[in-house]
Amino acid sequence: MMSSIFPFVYALIVIVLLWQALRVMSRGLFAANALEKADNPLKKDRTGQFTIHPELLNKDGKITDEDLLTVRFSNDLDPPKQTESSSE
């Protein structure tokens, strides 16, 4: 008796699992397509626009006048550039 029921139960389980896998994959596909259609601000062209790093701004939102720390590497042959003091 078990030998005659087992193939049907096995086939039913395989079909249910395939159906669930197709449902999950189709949801992911539709979600990916929805993201492409949405107006994504990250994909806008930023040619010609400048981005100022937030750490370069003071508390008033203007570029800081403080001397900034720089990192020099051993292969860097350029002499360090002198900065103008903002207090003078």
Please say whether the beta carbons of 67 and 83 come within 8 A. Answer: yes
Q: Whole domain around residue 36: which residue ranges?
A: 2-41
pLDDT in tens, 17-39: 999 999 999 888 888 777 666 66
Does residue 7 belong to any structural domain of this protein? yes
Does residue 10 belong to any structural domain of this protein? yes
**pLDDT confidence of residue 38:** 61
Does residue 66 belong to any structural domain of this protein? no
Q: Please tell me the least confidently modeled range out of 31-35, 42-46, 59-63, 70-74.
A: 42-46
Does residue 6 belong to any structural domain of this protein? yes
Does residue 62 belong to any structural domain of this protein? no
Question: What values do phi and psi take at 28, rounded to 5?
Answer: -65, -40
Residue 44 has pLDDT above 50, yes or no: yes
Alpha-carbon dihedral sign for residues 7, 12, 18, 21:
negative
Instruction: Give the count of domains, the chain.
Output: 1
